[in-house]
Amino acid sequence: MTAPRDFNTCVTLIAANGDREAFAALFDHYAPRVKALLIRSGSPASAAEELAQETLLTVWRKAHLFDPTRASAAAWIFTIARNLRIDGLRRADRAVYAEDFAPDAEDPPQPDVILSGAQDAQRVRAAIKSLNPDQAQAIEMAFFQEQTHMQISQALGVPLGTIKARIRFGMMKLRAFIERESGGVA
């Protein structure tokens, strides 16, 4: 077995003349260590095994890029493993992203659903007309214009508590009106 201090030389021999013995020594030493690192970082065992093999294959193919003045063989190999893991996670994220945002082939709404929605909208409009103007304005701003209670208070120059009361009492009136109009079913 090659001593740890000779692994830089192993990579250099692989780059120079495709030394299979040097590669076997690197593989025997680093494959289980890379796999263990990948498992500790959250990869399933089978994926870690594949990534460890891919890492050492990359070492074989790119040994000519190794620079022992910049990093040790260990640092270089573990960096390759880390980068391959990140690339795999990115590919998986892109696949999930593509699935999440793929256009759905939804059926168009049925006529009875459209009619029911239009009838509900008519009920809400009629119910809002039944409110006093201050309540109607506060509810309009809160629910249709999506403003916060504080924004409504500032826009109307009315205390925050007053706005909250207008909305609360207006909503109670709306509920009562809609229940009455729909025969007690809301």
1 falls in which pLDDT band (50, 70, 90)? very low
Structure tokens at 131: 């409110």
User: For 48-73, how does the pLDDT look when each residue is reduced to its tens digit (9 = 90+)?
Assistant: 899 999 999 999 999 999 998 988 99
Interval 24-51 mean pLDDT: 90
| Residue with token string 């409110």 | 131
Q: How far is CA 165 from each of CA 131, 156, 173, rounded to the nearest angstrom? A: 13, 14, 12
Determine if the pTM surpasses 0.75: no
Q: Which of 14-28, 38-52, 74-88, 112-126 has the lowest mean pLDDT?
A: 112-126
54 vs 65: CA distance, rounded Å: 16
What's the Cα-to-Cα distance from 16 to each of 12, 61, 78, 105, rounded to whole Å? Answer: 6, 12, 21, 57
**What structural domains does the chain harbor?**
4-100 (1.10.1740.10), 111-181 (1.10.10.10)
Q: Provide the 8-state DSSP code for 141.
A: I
pLDDT at 4 (0 to 100): 46
Structure confidence at residue 20 (pLDDT): 92
